[in-house]
Structure formats: structure tokens, C-alpha cells
Chain A
């Protein structure tokens, strides 16, 4: 056998193993992640209706549906097929897994996009996953649960009561900064203020307010885009891709 054919065969075996077991493990992960709510809905004795879940899911799809498809498309060229199954289960792709892969490639001096680079990034993501699982288990699973059991009830109540505005305040700013699209941010602000005002005076509208705001902003941001920089696909500068750990 020639050397080239041997390399080809070895890498073929790697691709086969990772895509087969990557898919199998991801499907099992999917099962466990859905088993938890399934238990609450069907076996815990809580009064949760299927129709209510469908409504909630439809509302989510209206808001995040585009992201569900766009995110895998965006990361595929960077991660490569084998790492896709790792990344979308471990999470924190842009702020943890991508830097881990890049640092590993730089450390041993290989280029991204090469086969050696791919193996380095797979190993780096395994390393990152190990550290991440260990720190989550120790600091959140064990210490965090203990911490929650000793903090006073009124603090617990404050956290529960005001968690949404607290998280969204920081997240909105982070999203605006990392997207680097001031025009879209301004449109989102104007649309949101209008939508929230309407919902304030006309309560039933509140049910749809998030979806309406998101769809209206997406359409307006596209129609009112800066045609000088975003006119045709070829004009898009490579480094204009958002960096953010937004989604």
C-alpha cells in the first residue's frame, strides 16, 4: 500500500468513528436532556398541559427558530464535522471551545484547516470538556447546592424575583457590543419600546410581544441595512463576522 493511501485510510477510520459515535452520543445526550422535563410533565403529578407546552414551544420557535439553524451553519467551517457533535453538547462554543482549539493548534504549531490541526482541536476540546465538567460538578453541583441551602430566604426571593431584568440588562449590552451592528441595535431598541408600550396598555398583546418585536426587528434590520457595506454577498468583509458569545 502506498503511503498516501494508508493516510487516507487512517483518516477515513477516524472520520467514521467520530461521526458514528459522535451522533450516537449526541442522540443519547438529547434523550437525557428531554427525559428531565418529560418526567416533570408526565410523572411528577404537576398540572402541565401538552397544549401549553406546544404554545410555549411555538413562541420560542418564533423568537429563536432562525438561530437554531444558523448556528450550526456558522460553526461548521470552523469546527469541522467531528467536533460539531462535541461542541453542540458541551456548549459555550465561542467563549471556550474555539479559544481552546486555537491555543492548542498554536502550541504545537499546526494550522487550522489541516488534518493535524483537526486532531489537535479534537484533543483540545476533549481537554476543555474535562475541565469544564469537573468545575461544574464541584463548584455548581456540590458547592453551589450547599451555598443555596445556607443563604437566607429573603435573598433567595430577591434573586428569583429580579433575575430576569438582571440577566437581560447585562446580556443586552453584551449582545450589542459583540454584534458590532449599531444600526440593528437601535432598531431593536425602538421596536422594543413601542412593543412594550402597546403591551402595557393592551394586556392581551403581551403574549405575542417578544415574537412580534423579534420578527419586526429582523425584517427592519434587513430592509434598512447599510447597503454600502452589506449590499452584495461579495462585499462582506471576512472579519465582520460577529465574535460574540451571544447565543
Chain B
């Protein structure tokens, strides 16, 4: 029933069986569409690079080496993203996780966006109020939010390329302080807002934060940057296991 080949059961706005709609074939088709677009884009870019390379004194071998170096260095980070994505499969379904968490967005932004969207409908992400209709609303909000990044990129890139001076005059101190503070506040208030709900919510939040903090300290002490890469996935999976144990007490 969770397989993409299965026929979608009739949609029911009030059902909490999210995966019945989240794994629908249409959503799979859209996800595969995004995959194909990225493949086509990569092929076009590689072809263009191959044609331009000799003119800047770059051999085809050097281009191939660059491709391979990029591929190898992406292996670790990609598998780290896979780990996080798998943990969220039951919350958003496979197609949405592939597109939103695996590709365009990130787990932190998308989870926050879904929670904020659910809240505006008086519901919660993942609880008894997380119905098929709320999932649809959350996915719509996540996708529109993600679209804003793409639209900003489409509009700003040509402007920046022309060297638009107005954009470069933005006070760098504001750029340094405000977005960072806003992000930390968004995650902080969403996390702390979960604490009054039950002691198990406290366990979930605190164990995840503690594991992440420990991994960050270890990564710095033994100077192994890959630990930082895997920290998010490890923290989420371990603290889900701890939380599961807590629910059994």
C-alpha cells in the first residue's frame, strides 16, 4: 500500500492516513519530473563546458577530473542527506521527501515550513490533527516557499550579472546579523513551542539537541569534519529511538 504502484485509495480530508495521498502516482510523476529536469540540465551544462574548455586552455581530461572529483566529494554529503530523508518518509511520503528535502529544500526549512502551515489551519504536524487535507496544505506552503527561492534566483541572477550596484550596496552587517538571527529564532520558537505538549516532547527535543551538541564537540575535538555532515541524521534517528523507548515506559 505504501508502494508507488499501488492505486491511491479514495482521498479523505479527515483521514490521518497521510501516505495514502502522499505516495500517489501523480506526486511520484512530479518528483521524477524534477529528477529528469536536473539530469537534462547537467547534460546541457557539461556539453557547454566541453565546448568552451579548449578556449581557456583546459583539457577534456581536466574537465573529466573535475566531474569525478565533484562526484566523489558529494558521496558523503549525499548519503548524509539520505539518512535524514528516510527518517521523514512517514511524515511527508516518498515523492515529497525526494523533492523537498532531498533536492530543492532542506530538512530544517521544510519541516519548519510544514509546521507553520499546519499551525495556520489550527492543526499540528504529525499529530491526530495532521490529516490528508492538512498534509496537502503543508505541501502547498512548502512548495510555494521553495518556489520563492527559485523565483528570487531567476530574477536576481541576471541583475547581479549586470553588476547591479544597488544590490551590492546592501549593508553587509545587516546581511550578517539579520538572516542568521531570524533562522535561529524560527527553529528555536518552533522547538520550544513543542515543550509544553508532553514530557515525551521534552525528551524528543532535549535528546536531539544534546546528541547534536555532543557530536559538534566531538567533531571539533578530533577534527573530523565528516562528523558534522552526518550529525543531523544521527541526532534525528537516535533521538527518535530514545523517544520511542520513552513512549513504551
Contact = CB atoms under 8 A, between A and B. Distances in A.
B132 A46 contact: yes
Given A91-B104, A193-B192, 7 more contacts: A33-B30, A104-B69, A108-B66, A162-B200, A164-B115, A168-B188, A218-B182
Given A33-B104, A116-B57, A225-B177, A73 B160 contact: yes
A121 B229 CA distance: 21
A188 B196 contact: no
Interface in B1-52: 1-4, 10-11, 13, 18-19, 21, 23-24, 26-27, 30-31, 33-35, 37-42, 44-46, 48-49, 51-52
Interface string A24-51: 0111111011111111110111111000
B45 A184 contact: no
Interface of A is mostly: helix
B185 A214 contact: yes
Contacts of B68: 127
A91 B102 contact: yes
Nearest to B76: A96
Contact of A172 (B46, B72, B187): B187
Contacts of A206: 119, 193
Given A33-B99, A85-B41, A91 B150 contact: no
Contacts of B13: 46-48
Given A30-B151, A48-B137, A108-B65, A169 B37 contact: no
A11 B55 contact: yes
B interface, how many residues as a size bin? 35 or more
The 10 closest A-B pairs by CB, nearest first: A124-B70, A169-B208, A127-B70, A168-B191, A10-B55, A127-B71, A217-B185, A128-B74, A221-B181, A32-B33
B157 A44 contact: no
Given A73-B156, A166-B236, A207 B176 contact: no
Contact of A44 (B11, B89, B91): B11
B70 A169 contact: no
Contacts of A139: 79, 82, 86
Nearest to B94: A145
A132 B74 contact: yes
A206 B118 CA distance: 12
Interface string A71-89: 1111010000110111011
A91 B110 CA distance: 12
A86 B232 CA distance: 24
Contact of B46 (A123, A159, A170, A174): A123
A68 interface: yes
B205 A165 contact: yes
A46 B186 CA distance: 29
